[in-house]
Every structure is written in structure tokens, then in C-alpha cells.
Structure 1
Amino acid sequence: MTAPPRRPTQRADRSARSELYLIGGIHAVVDGHAIEVPDGGSRLLVYVALRGGRVDRRQIAGTLWPVGDDARAAGNLRSALWRLRGAGLDLLEGDHSWLAVAEHVVVDVDQVGAWAARLVAGRLEPGDLMPRPGWSDALDLLPAWHDDWVVFERERLRQRMLHALEAMSRELVARNRQAEAVDVAMAAVAAEPLRESAQRVLLEAHLAEGNQIEAHRCFARYRDLARRELGVSPSPELGALLAGYRGVPAGAADRAGMTGRASMTERTAGARERAQEHRVDLVSRSRYPSAPPARQGAAAARSHTGDSSPA
């Protein structure tokens, strides 16, 4: 009879790379093997990983186990460390006063944060403009966790991601990769539809691709959403983006509703007026062939209105 596989109980080889994943579900990879993080140690591991660097043990214990005295909180901390090591997750290091993520451990949140910082700063590395899996999960880190320290880190990562997506879209436009720029900008808009800077890069991507109608539609949807949800209108600068592209004065695009309906109405009215003038001119020439053009038009107008008085 074959013995069941043993669960790793000894400390991992610290010369080997280990990976800790917090985005899209908590798990770790040690020596190429995926290991689930036990419930009794997950909060400790996540807290230290999100704080970064060395974290005071008393701060950890007081934050994670606020009920009871310091001795009890310190005991809970030791118990959580024991559970992690018993599961083969020797991912933390420290001494009697502090804990930190071990140097051989790579944390996905740190990698995403570094990627976002490079994009925002314009210091790109090969592959930074390629689509990354888990964008949507990174925009909502640990959604089922409601601790204050998780909520803060979730919002911080979300803001980093949104800034990175906006910078990425602009960089793609600059490299004449407009279709990819639209996709990235739409990801930012989907994450936060009321974020005007995300809407701006989406408009810029559409305009760079020559799709004015798409840009107008996006602006109209955003304008209606902002008015409905917040009771405000988009900034004049956003309207000027489209107005300037069309070569009309800033603000005129927003006054026209940015849907194209107003400008189309104006063009239609102008065409009708020109057609009416052309018809009057034809009538005047047929009835008064010898009259000068100005008198022909006046005579035709009197004839059209029934006025028979002399000019």
C-alpha cells in the first residue's frame, strides 16, 4: 500500500524562490508547489505582506487580536506563526521584536505596485505594455475582507492601478497602438465610471484612432452618468478636448450636448436656408430674366409673398 504524500513540515529552502499571492485568492508557491494558506495564519501573513518591511510584533498582535491583554495577543501571534510553519510556509522572518516577509519571497502585490510605479514615472521595462492577467482582481484586493487596514491597502492599490492604466493607455497612443489603448482605457473606466481622468484617456484614444463619433458617445454617456449620480457636469476641459479636436471654440461642444445632434441640426437648418435661397433665385430668373440679380431676388420675394407694390 502506497503511503499518502506527506505535507511539507520543515522550513523551506531559503535559497529557493517562494511566491505569495494575495490577488485573486490567498495562496503560496514554495519550491514550485502550490500551498493553501491555513486560516489560522492567513491574517498574519497578509498583514505583514501588505505593510511591507519590518513590522513591530506588538503592533501586529494589537491590530489582529485587539480583544484581551497583550500577553494573550502575543500568544495568538506565536500560534499563527506555528500554523504557517507547520503548513510548510516559512515565509516570514524576524526576531522577538519584529517580523517581515523573508527575502526569498516574492509578493504579487509588490510586483503590481512596482509595475504601476514604472508606468506612471515613464520608466518602462520590456513587457510593461503587455496585458497582465488579474487586472480586475488587483483593482479589488481581498474584497471579502473588511478590516480597516485591508480597506486602506485595497484603495491604495486600486489608485495605483487606475493611474497605471491611464498612463499605459497614453503610452500606447504615443506608440500608435490605438486599439490596445482603447482596451486599457476601457478597463480603467469600467473600474471607476465616474473617474474623469479615465474618461479623458478613453476619449484621447478614440480621437487618436480618428473615431470622433465614438468619442462623442463616450462623452455623452459620462455626462449623463455624472449628472444623474452626482448632479454635476464634466469639467470644461473635458468638453474642450472634443471641441478643440473639431476646431470649434472651447465650450461649444458641451453647449451642443456633445452628441452631435445639435451640430447636425445647425447643418440641416443651414442647408435648408441655402436651398430656399437657391429656389428663390431660380424663380426670380425665370420670371424676371432682364432684371439685375439683386432686383430679381427682391421681385421674386414680393411675388412669393403676394406683394405687388413696385420696388
Structure 2
Amino acid sequence: MTHSQARTDSLPSIEGTAHLCLLDGPYVVDNGRRFLVPEGSERLLVFVALRNGQAVSRRKVAGTLWPSVTEDRAAGNLRTALWRLRSSGIHILDAERHTLSVRVGTSIDVFTIDAWAGRLVDGSADHDDISIRHFHPAAIELLPGWYDDWIIFERERIRQKLLHALEILSERLAQEGRFGEAIEAAMTATEIDPLRESAQRTLILIHLSEGNFAQARHTYTAYSRLLESELGIAPAPELARLVHSVR
């Protein structure tokens, strides 16, 4: 889709706060107005944004985004991309003489969900964090169709972190007796990565905790068949013992 012209729509927003949306984006919401990012500036904005507040040198940005042209041409491309952003009404990049960074106070949705996942993983989650509503499916496949190395790395980093977080979330929910939500979180993880044994184990354990022994065996059987079909292997013996020990 061509983003040669910014489109603005009225959206709810905290006045004075800008939001950079990379999930289902990129686009920017600033003072309640939505701005599409010009096509020629998308990679620039995303590259700087993924530094998560850290400043990055102009030379590094230009060299990474335009590696096949001369240094002067890359610097010129960078200036053009910055001009396109400003012309579109997007003013969330601070352009210093030698560095670029996202304006202080700008929220970036991918790092909001990343922070939530981090609290679950490191054990610092509070009661409000123990909810599947914080999960955004688009975070699993950050900017699909983008194949730059720096995007692929960040996409996989976030994906793995969220999978760990979903497993922990499902366990915490089960401990609180919120089995419906626990099953949803665990099944979300298994849908994202059906071959992931830790996610399947978590789902099976929740079924067992709820007393749904037949469902636990059904899940195990389906997983066993999938492993055999895809990889020609069987589940870990510990998982088999867990299920078959149930009478």
C-alpha cells in the first residue's frame, strides 16, 4: 500500500502524548489524530523506533538502510526520508546533528507489550498483568513482509519472549483458579508454535489441574501425532509419563 500522503482520523489519545503503532502499522497517533507513515520513510522510522529510546548515529542509520550506495548518497536519502516524515505531520523523531532518536514521551506499542511480557518472565508482574487482554496477536509476527536482518532479529526476540510469557501467564491464571483464561493463554501459545513442547506441557497440566483428564490425553495424543508427522520423533518421556500416570 502506498503511503505517499498522510491520512488523519480522529482517535482517542492522551493530549500531548504521541503513540507509534508498529502492530498492524506502522502509523502514528499524535494528539488524537492518526498519521500514516510515508512509504519512503517507514524503514527509517521503524529502525530508529526499535532502538527503544536509545539514540542512534545518522551514519549507522544511513549505512544500514541504504548499504548499496555511496555514503553521501545514503546521507542524502536519510535527509529526504526525514523531510517526508515532517511534511506528513509526523514529528516524533528528534534529529540532532549526529544522532536520531524517538521523541521522549512517545509510546511504542510493541515495547508496551514487550514490557508486559518481561514482567511475567522475571516475576515482577502485578495483579493487573495477569490477564490475556494485554496480549496482541500482531506482536508475534512483527511487521510481516519485512525481511531486513534487523527486523527478523527483533521479530524472533519478541516472539520467543511472548511465548514464554504466555506459558507463565497460563500457569498463574490456573493457580488463581481462572481455568478458562488459563486454557486460552496456553492454547494461544500452542497455536503460535504447535511443536513447542513446553507450551503443550503447560496446556496438558492445566487440563489435569482442572480435572479434565480425557482432554489432557487428547491434547497429548494430538501432539504426539503432530511430532511424528512433522519431525519423526516422539514427545519427551517425562511428558508421556505425566499423562499416562493418570488413572
User: What TM-score do you get using the length of structure 1 for normalisation?
Assistant: 0.72
Q: List runs of 5+ in structure 1 lacking aligned partners.
A: 1-5, 9-14, 248-311
**1:55-99 residue CA offsets vs partner (Å, 9 max, x unmatched):** 121111011111211010011111111111111111111412211
Q: Is the 8 A contact 1:24 1:134 kept in 2?
A: no
Written as runs of structure 1 = structure 2, the 5 A alignment for 1:1-311 is 16-52=16-52, 53-132=54-133, 135-244=136-245, 246=246
Q: Is the 8 A contact 1:203 1:219 kept in 2?
A: yes
State the 1:217 CA deviation. 0.6
Q: Which amino acid aligns with 1:187?
A: T
State the alpha-carbon separation in 1 of the partners of residues 34 and 103 from structure 2: 18
Q: Which amino acid aligns with 1:149?
A: W
Q: Bigger shift: 199-208 or 89-98?
A: 89-98
Following superposition, which runs of at least 4 residues in structure 1 exceed 6 angstroms of deviation?
none
Q: Is the 8 A contact 2:7 2:34 kept in 1?
A: no
State the alpha-carbon separation in 2 of the partners of residues 184 and 132 from structure 1: 10
State the alpha-carbon separation in 1 of the partners of residues 205 and 152 from structure 2: 32
**1:89-122 residue CA offsets vs partner (Å, 9 max, x unmatched):** 1111141221111112100111011000001112
Q: Is the 8 A contact 1:7 1:88 kept in 2?
A: no
State the alpha-carbon separation in 2 of the partners of residues 239 and 120 from structure 1: 26
State the alpha-carbon separation in 1 of the partners of residues 196 and 167 from structure 2: 11
Is the partner of 1:51 in helix, strand or coil? coil
Alpha carbons of 1:7 and 1:132: their partners in 2 closer, same or farther (altered >3 Å)? Answer: closer
Between Structure 1 and Structure 2, whose CA radius of gyration is higher? 1
Q: Please report the RMSD computed on the Cα atoms of aligned residues, expressed in angstroms.
A: 1.8
**1:212-246 residue CA offsets vs partner (Å, 9 max, x unmatched):** 100001001111111110111111121122244x2
Aligned residues: 235
Is the partner of 1:96 in helix, strand or coil? coil
Q: Is the 8 A contact 2:113 2:134 kept in 1?
A: no
State the 1:133 CA deviation. 6.4
State the alpha-carbon separation in 1 of the partners of residues 166 and 128 from structure 2: 14
Q: Is the 8 A contact 1:21 1:27 kept in 2?
A: yes
Aligned to 2:11: none
State the alpha-carbon separation in 2 of the partners of residues 212 and 188 from structure 1: 20
State the 1:134 CA deviation. 6.2
Identity level (%): 46
Greater relative CO, 1 or 2 (CA 8 Å, sep 6+):
2
State the alpha-carbon separation in 2 of the partners of residues 181 and 25 from structure 1: 29
State the alpha-carbon separation in 2 of the partners of residues 190 and 139 from structure 1: 11
State the 1:7 CA deviation. 8.2
Is the partner of 1:153 in helix, strand or coil? helix
Is the partner of 2:101 in helix, strand or coil? strand
Q: List runs of 5+ in structure 2 lacking aligned partners.
A: 1-5, 9-14
Q: Is the 8 A contact 2:189 2:199 kept in 1?
A: yes
Q: Is the 8 A contact 1:117 1:160 kept in 2?
A: yes
